[in-house]
Each structure stands twice: as structure tokens, then as C-alpha cells.
Structure 1
């Protein structure tokens, strides 16, 4: 569970920093859909973990565009 908290911290940081509009928009949309704060961040964290796996597997840099597209698909 310790690692799960680190992913949530990443999401929290994105929500609190400038330059992460897709993260903020996704969070607000999920809250409007009825998800709790924790549920919304967990869903977004799952996308973050998927993106990190792709990065490691393909030995590539974080792809902000791909990450944002996956966030937009969350319902």
C-alpha cells in the first residue's frame, strides 16, 4: 500500500502545480460524475501507473500527450 500513496502524491502534486491542466480537468470531471476525492485520484493514479509501465518497458520519456488522452477516457 505504501507505493499506492506515492502515486496519489504524484496526482496531488499535479493538481497543485501549474502546467497540468488535463489532470485538473479530469479530476474536476470525475468529481462531477460523483466520484469521491480518493476514488478520482485512484482512477487517475491507475493511468499514471500504466504510463510509467510503458515508459519503463520502452525505455522512453514520459509522454504527456498520451497520458492526457488516457485521462480523458476515464469515466
Structure 2
């Protein structure tokens, strides 16, 4: 689920969500409008706040989240060694 869909479906304002995250409403607006990417550091926080409905993979596709989570092929190969 996209962050905008989550906010709409839960009737959460940008301002209220920003407050829960400890960021400005303007930053949330920039994320939603595509003017600024969501940082890799914020993604896990957002995923937790949304109960997993909005995933890190949905928020930022520039990060290899499978590797970060320790579930990717490289992580599995290291465990097998």
C-alpha cells in the first residue's frame, strides 16, 4: 500500500502523521508529491507506524531491503557458510 493510500484509508492528516514521525508536515507533503524521496532511515519507522501496511520496499526502491532485513540471497548464503 502506498503511503498516500494509507493516510486516506485511516483518515490520518499529513500533519498528524508528521507529528507521530517527528518530522514536519511539509516533509510529508514533499514525500507524497514526489518532490523528495523518503530516506532509508525513515522507512522502517513508517513501516512500524503503519503496522506493516506500508512497507519499506514500497517507500524506497533504491535500497535492497531483502539484504537489509537479512532475507536476501546474499544473507542466506552467509548463514549457510
Structure possessing the higher relative contact order (Cα contacts under 8 Å, 6 or more residues apart): 1
TM-score exceeds 0.5:
no
Which structure has more helix as a fraction of its residues? 1
TM-score of the superposition, structure 1-length normalised? 0.30
Larger radius of gyration: 2
